Homo-oligomer: A and B are copies of this chain.
Amino acid sequence: MSLLHPIAQASFAIIDREIGAHPFDAPSYAILRRIIHSTADFEFKNLLEISPGAIAQITQALRSGVPIITDVAMVSVGIQTMASRTFGNPIITALDDGSHTAPGQTRSEAGMIRAWQEWPYGLFVIGNAPTALLALCDRLQQTRVPPAGVIGVPVGFVNVVESKAALAQLPVPQIRIAGRKGGSPVAAAIVNALLELASSEEPV
């Protein structure tokens, strides 16, 4: 079955023609292609990093209905259509309203810690806030409960590269964007591609 709109199919054909040489296998390329589709930025070809086995592990978790925890509403709204069309995974935006945020803490950080306490086995998707990713990595270092996976693609100039380096040190299934780039559409593209892969008949 194809979940794709004809315009998206035409866009994918253009990307296929222009992408040139790349090292990705078919499921990894499906993720890359969705990222480029949502950004029109071919530089992501050199930035996408997927840990060994991550796609198989995360797609399996998605099929079993794992909750998806995001750092910002922009990511949540970007994945809700595909989630509802596939496995109906619950989507939780882990942004605290301020009522549980300690001094010196961001609302993203406080919200992510609370979400991890409630759903430690979830799929965590960080598209915006490096403080949320740093706080999550800190907790994951102290636990033996493995999450379904971490999509670590915050964007920006402060703590972003550091947060991705912290994630790379952890033995959890993960997908990252190297450097400063990333963002909500990149995070949504990765999750939507994983949901498509999980619902396709091809083994990944």
A contacts, CB < 8 Å to B: 5, 7, 10-11, 14-15, 37-41, 72-74, 77-78, 106, 131, 155-160, 179-185, 188
Residue from B131, B157, B185 in contact with A37 in the complex, judged by beta carbons closer than 8 Å: B157
Q: Given the complex, which residues of B lie within 8 Å of A188, measured CB to CB?
A: 74
Q: Are A181 and B40 in contact (CB under 8 A)?
A: yes
Q: Are A14 and B74 in contact (CB under 8 A)?
A: no
Q: Are B106 and A74 in contact (CB under 8 A)?
A: no
The count of identical subunits is 2
- Given A10-B158, A158-B14, A184-B184, verify A41-B41 contact (CB < 8 Å): yes
A95 to chain B, nearest CB (A): 10
Most chain B beta-carbon contacts within 10 A, residue among A37, A179, A184: A184
Q: Given the complex, which residues of B lie within 8 Å of A160, measured CB to CB?
A: 40
Residue from B10, B180, B183, B185 in contact with A157 in the complex, judged by beta carbons closer than 8 Å: B10
Residue from B5, B40, B72, B155 in contact with A155 in the complex, judged by beta carbons closer than 8 Å: B40
